[in-house]
Amino acid sequence: MTVAATTSLTVRYGRKVAVGDLSVEVPGGCVGLLGPNGAGKTTLIKTLLGFLRPAHGRATVLGMDVASAGLRIRQLVGLMPEQDCHIPGMNAVAFVAYAGELAGMPGDQAMRRAHETLEYCGLGEARYRDIETYSTGMKQRIKLAQALIHGPKLLLLDEPTNGLDPAGRVEMLDLIRDISSSKGVNVVVSSHLLPDIERTCDHVIVMRSGRLAMSGSVADLRRTEGVQVDVDLKVMWQPFLAALRAAGVNVVHEDGSRCRLALPETEKDAAALILRTAMQTGAQVRGIRPALRSLEDVFLEAIE
């Protein structure tokens, strides 16, 4: 299932190209949109919502063209913007209900739904307080609530953990994961915080300078080539590494008492070779496990 797609998409601000010749498909589920500042993530989101008109190429959301169906797309999509979006003088329930009416909901239905959404987002007890009195974490939750009020088929979250303390960040990420996995809503999380993406998303799209740098499932991108294992030692033992190198093993890197080894494809039993070499050299092995690249490794590889 594809919830959004672009074909040779180019978006400009005057002469500046913010998104250039971008062709990518956004699958269903929870997708991370990664990239350094200035990579074009927010511009892409604005284009998918129909706020920006492409200079060239095409983009679709839920099967609709952004150039001709922007209003309908915005009725079916929820946006949690990076900047605060509340209206001064309004309490939380009135604001969220108003967001529902803007999406086309009848007033009474929007009000009922606002109470339910605020309860789900953890703001039930503060629903009648003016939003100006909210903490940063509460303001992030109210932005999420107004994006959910109308039951969107796709949720776009732009830096959803901005300004949150560690506890608030974990709670927000748990909410995002629950929305995606339990509520069946497709979610796109735009962020430069790799741990947030790794915790919530199954697929990532990496942008660099307005172009596609990498796209794929997190599991596939983290896999290493060939036979690679991580080995934990009591202490790093150079004779052990030297003996492995002599046996054709490549020491990918060392970090404290841990090392990553790339073994020849012909090696049938990596653990047997490692343990045998440890016995011969006097090294003390505490653990052996298949190696996985971190999302940070994938990201750095994509943008460099």
pLDDT tens figures, 80-139: 999 888 888 999 999 999 999 999 999 999 999 999 999 999 999 999 999 999 999 999
Architecture of domain 2-221: 3-Layer(aba) Sandwich (3.40)
pLDDT confidence of residue 296: 75
What stretch(es) of the chain map to CATH 3.30.70? 224-293
pLDDT in tens, 183-211: 889 999 998 888 889 889 999 999 999 99
Contact assessment for residue 100 and residue 109, using Cβ atoms and an 8 Å cutoff: yes
Instruction: Report the candidate in 194, 265, 196 with the shortest Cα–Cα distance to residue 224.
Output: 265
| Percentage, residues of the chain above pLDDT 90 | 70
User: For residues 207 and 162, what is the distance between their CA atoms, to the nearest angstrom?
Assistant: 20
CA atoms within 13 A on the CB side of 18: 18
**Has residue 300 got a pLDDT over 90?**
no
pLDDT confidence of residue 126: 94
Which CATH code fits 224-293? 3.30.70
What stretch(es) of the chain map to CATH 3.40.50.300? 2-221
Mean pLDDT value across residues 144-152: 96
User: For residues 206 and 262, what is the distance between their CA atoms, to the nearest angstrom?
Assistant: 27
User: For residues 94 and 78, what is the distance between their CA atoms, to the nearest angstrom?
Assistant: 18
pLDDT confidence of residue 292: 75
Quickly state the pLDDT bin for 170 (edges 50, 70, 90). Answer: very high
List, in order, residues 6 or more apart from 153 with CB less than 8 Å away: 3, 62, 76, 77, 185, 186
pLDDT confidence of residue 4: 97
**Has residue 151 got a pLDDT over 80?**
yes
Higher pLDDT, 7 or 193: 7
**pTM (2 d.p.):** 0.79
Q: Which two tokens stand for residue 184?
A: 């069946």
Q: What kind and span of H or E run contains 234?
A: none
pLDDT in tens, 220-275: 877 666 678 889 999 888 999 999 999 889 888 888 898 989 888 766 788 899 99
